[in-house]
Amino acid sequence: MGIAMTMGLGSQQVDRSGKMKAFVRALPKVETHLHLDGTLTPDLIQSLARSQGHELGNKTVEEIAALAVVSTPWPSLAAVLEAFVRINPLLHRADALDAVAYELCRKAAAQNIRYMEVRFAPILHFAPGFNQDAVMTAVLGGLAKGKRDFGVGSGVIVTMLRNLSVEDNESIYEVAKRFFGRGVVALDLANDEARRPLSQFAHLYQDAKSAGLSTTVHAGEVYPCRDFESALDLGIDRIGHGVFLT
């Protein structure tokens, strides 16, 4: 009798769980923290790699997933960031970035996401003859086609990177300013915060706020962290992750 009752309760829990998942999937949603180069499925990675003659094209979908999908806890933020590095060589072409942005819209529509803010660092994707402005144009083009075909609205958050030089980050910020109002909505800072504090980017954030850009920052991903205090001092609008806030 006890076993039967336990099995019955388990079935009810499974049923409730299934209904809840269906309910959540059906809800209209907004996604505000989404890294463009973190949205590629193993299938898409394999397809891009094969079309470009990249070595990842010789791997199975399962092998690619083991390298690029963080589905279980990894040992550190630095290790997680390596997953981005592995697929970055595939994203130095307009057709690839357009395809990734368009596919993202399709996947978002399947989850009933009505609006999303997509972030990336354009400097990571430029190549000879393919500058940061061309990178932005390719991504915005894919997002525009995705809105047309799937009804998913979007804005772009341009992301600076802590591991790059001041000059490189200033060039990223200049791209954000040029495309502000043309699809770009905000400025971000990401990568391993143990390498460089937010305070070193204060002048760019101050200028961004003066220019009307919204602001966000990845902070509180490593411990200890003083970036929360800097974010408050700078009046930053949104903190990404903030896992060590408590």
Q: Comparing C-alpha atoms, which of 86, 81, 72 is closest to residue 193? A: 81
Crossing angle of helices 132-150 and 94-110, in 10° steps, is: 30
Residue 161 has which token pair?
Answer: 């990177």
Active site residue 31: no
Q: Using CA of residue 116, residue 121, residue 124, residue 127, what is the dihedral sign? A: positive
Helical H segments across 27-93, by residue range:
42-52, 61-68, 77-87
Q: What sign does the CA torsion over 218, 137, 123, 176 have?
A: negative
Per annotation, catalytic residue among 103, 117, 193, 221 = 221
Tell me whether residue 28 is exposed, middle or buried, using C-beta atoms within 10 angstroms of its C-beta: 0 to 12, 13 to 18, 19 or more.
exposed
Give me the residues paired with residue 161 across strands: 190
DSSP 152-174: -EEEEEEEEETTS-HHHHHHHHH
Nearest-angstrom CA–CA distance, 242 and 200: 19
26: how many CB neighbours lie within 10 A of its CB?
A: 10
For 183, list phi and psi in degrees, rounded to 5. Answer: 130, -30
Catalytic residues: 221
